[in-house]
């Protein structure tokens, strides 16, 4: 029996029972569609989270105040209720002694009103040093970021996001103007070009000022975090140890900071989302298996309905193997076309969702399409095996007389 003829015979049955065929196609396509949609959501979530990090430079080490103790109860200090020491600008300065660190960007965050002329609005303020620009990979649209600022020098300058510029200055020139931020005044030296978010803050809405100015403005010395950029990746573990050693010494021997490598944070997020996507895909695959079982049931019914046909085929010379192939082809044809329908549906719905929710990126991964197609086909073949076998084993005499 030629392959094309096999397809023709199987296809003629599918056409003959349109309702049955439609139901099975729908069942399979829902399974495949579920895989596509759920993995699109999983990948989209991963993209959303890692997008928060991907604008960061490479070889970054992040120093956070406080230490998450995971081993049993704390020491006497904890019992006495003493809060962990603050991470200060002086701590950041002390890290300059590590020679393999290229840049140090301390970060302090707060929110305060900013005003110019008659306009005022609340803005998120980031206090930092010029290193922030390279660490964040930000671009300036015009002007300079924080000219003349170092860890211990803080002339009254600031850079603003494009939205702040538009709302406070409209079409007039912002650079060179004195902006009132809280109870301080600082000269605008640059406009930040970048979009996107840093530490959860929209870059278009921020005002960035020197770190010491910000600590004075908010009247607190504690930094949100320190970001250090290593000369090269190979120094990173050593730098991590050095940072802990230096800060511990400054904090009376108490290790009250957390130091993480940005790449390991990225990697673990990536891992988490990989697992999440896989989990979603497996949940969706269950519906594929259900569709497979449905195909098996319907095929079993078909075998008993078509007994006399099977008997006839045997009488006119069909080998058992050919009968087997015929039913198997039918099952695979069903699950295959169902899967293709599901792929089309899944991807179209993803496009619709993209339009409906533009902030969230739906990304159906290629592997999900490939895997769901393969799983559907394997399901069809696997669940088609039993009915096909039953059909091929029918006794031709019984099958021929089994009819009305």
Partner 1 sequence: MIQLKNLSREFQVGNQVVHALDNIDLEIAEKDYVSIMGVSGCGKTTLLNILGLLDTPSSGDYILSGINTSQMNDDEMAKIRSTKIGFIFQSFHLIPRLTAAENIEIPMILAGMSKQVRSEKVNKALARVNLTDRSDHRPEQLSGGQRQRVAIARSIVMEPKVLLADEPTGNLDSSSGKEIVKLIEELNAGGLTLIVVTHDKQIGKRSNRVVRLLDGKVISNQEQ
Which residue from 246, 265, 266, 312 is in contact with partner 1, where contact means CB under 8 A? 312
Closest CA to 48 of 369, 275, 362: 362
Task: Tell me the C-alpha distance between 234 and 95, whole Å.
Answer: 18
Task: Tell me the C-alpha distance between 197 and 205, whole Å.
Answer: 10
Task: Tell me the C-alpha distance between 84 and 64, whole Å.
Answer: 11
Which residue from 118, 316, 358, 366 is in contact with partner 1, where contact means CB under 8 A? 316
| CA angle, 218 then 110 then 255, to 5° | 85
> Is residue 15 a contact residue for partner 1 (CB under 8 A)?
yes
> Is residue 370 a contact residue for partner 1 (CB under 8 A)?
no
| Closest CB to partner 1 among residues 215, 337 | 337
Closest CA to 189 of 146, 137, 130: 146
Which residue from 234, 319, 357, 374 is in contact with partner 1, where contact means CB under 8 A? 319
Is-contact 133 145, C-beta < 8 A? yes
Q: Residue by residue, what is the 3-state secondary structure of 59-94?
A: CEEEEEECCCCCCCCCCHHHHCCCCCCCCCHHHHHH
> Is residue 1 a contact residue for partner 1 (CB under 8 A)?
yes
Residue 320 CB, shortest distance to partner 1, in Å, is 6
| Closest CB to partner 1 among residues 4, 219 | 4
> Is residue 304 a contact residue for partner 1 (CB under 8 A)?
no
Which residue from 115, 309, 344, 361 is in contact with partner 1, where contact means CB under 8 A? 309
The count of residues interacting with partner 1 (CB under 8 A) is 27
| Closest CB to partner 1 among residues 1, 293 | 1
Element (H, E) at 231: none
> Is residue 403 a contact residue for partner 1 (CB under 8 A)?
yes
> Is residue 322 a contact residue for partner 1 (CB under 8 A)?
yes
User: Which one-letter DSSP state was computed for residue 300?
Assistant: H
| Closest CB to partner 1 among residues 157, 313 | 313
Work out the burial of residue 183: count CB atoms within 10 Å of its CB; fewer than 13 is exposed, 13-18 middle, 19 or more buried. Answer: exposed
Which residue from 238, 305, 320, 351 is in contact with partner 1, where contact means CB under 8 A? 320
Give contact residues for partner 1 (rule: CB under 8 A): 1-2, 5, 9, 12-13, 15-16, 308-309, 311-322, 396-397, 400, 403-404
């Amino acid at each position: 029996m030629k392959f094309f003829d096999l397809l023709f015979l199987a296809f003629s049955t599918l056409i003959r029972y349109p309702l049955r065929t439609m139901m099975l196609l729908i069942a399979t396509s829902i399974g495949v569609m579920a895989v596509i949609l759920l993995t699109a959501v999983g990948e989209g979530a991963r993209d959303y989270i890692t997008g928060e990090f991907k604008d960061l430079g490479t070889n970054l080490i992040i120093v956070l105040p406080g230490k998450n103790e995971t081993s049993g109860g704390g020491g006497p200090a904890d019992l006495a209720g003493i809060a962990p020491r603050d991470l200060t600008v002086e701590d950041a300065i002390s890290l300059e002694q590590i020679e393999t660190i290229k840049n140090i960007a301390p970060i302090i965050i707060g929110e305060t009103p900013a005003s110019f002329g008659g306009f005022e609005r609340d803005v998120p303020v980031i206090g930092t040093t010029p290193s922030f620009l390279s660490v964040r990979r930000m671009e300036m649209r015009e002007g300079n970021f924080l000219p003349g600022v170092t860890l211990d020098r803080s002339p009254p300058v600031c850079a603003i996001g494009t939205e702040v510029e538009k709302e406070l200055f409209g079409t007039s020139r912002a650079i060179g103007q004195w902006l009132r931020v809280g109870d301080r005044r600082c000269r605008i030296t640059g406009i930040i070009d970048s979009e996107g978010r840093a530490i959860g803050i929209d870059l278009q809405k921020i005002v960035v000022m020197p770190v010491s100015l910000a600590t004075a403005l908010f009247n607190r010395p504690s930094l949100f975090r320190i970001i250090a950029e290593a000369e090269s990746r190979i120094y990173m573990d050593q730098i991590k140890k050095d940072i802990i050693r230096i800060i511990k010494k400054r904090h009376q021997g108490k290790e009250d900071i957390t130091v993480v490598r940005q790449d390991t944070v990225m990697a673990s997020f990536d891992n988490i989302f990989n697992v999440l996507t896989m989990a979603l895909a497996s949940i969706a695959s269950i519906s594929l298996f259900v569709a497979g079982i449905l195909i098996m049931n319907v095929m079993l019914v078909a075998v008993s309905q078509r007994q006399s046909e099977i008997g006839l085929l045997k009488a006119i010379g069909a080998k058992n193997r050919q009968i087997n192939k015929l039913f198997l082809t039918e099952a695979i044809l069903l699950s295959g076309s169902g899967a293709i329908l599901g792929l089309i549906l899944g991807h179209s719905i993803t496009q619709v969702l993209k339009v409906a929710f533009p902030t969230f990126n739906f990304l159906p991964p290629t592997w999900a399409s490939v895997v769901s197609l393969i799983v559907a086909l394997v399901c069809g073949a696997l669940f088609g095996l039993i009915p096909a076998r039953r059909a091929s084993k029918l006794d031709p005499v019984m099958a021929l007389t089994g009819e009305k």
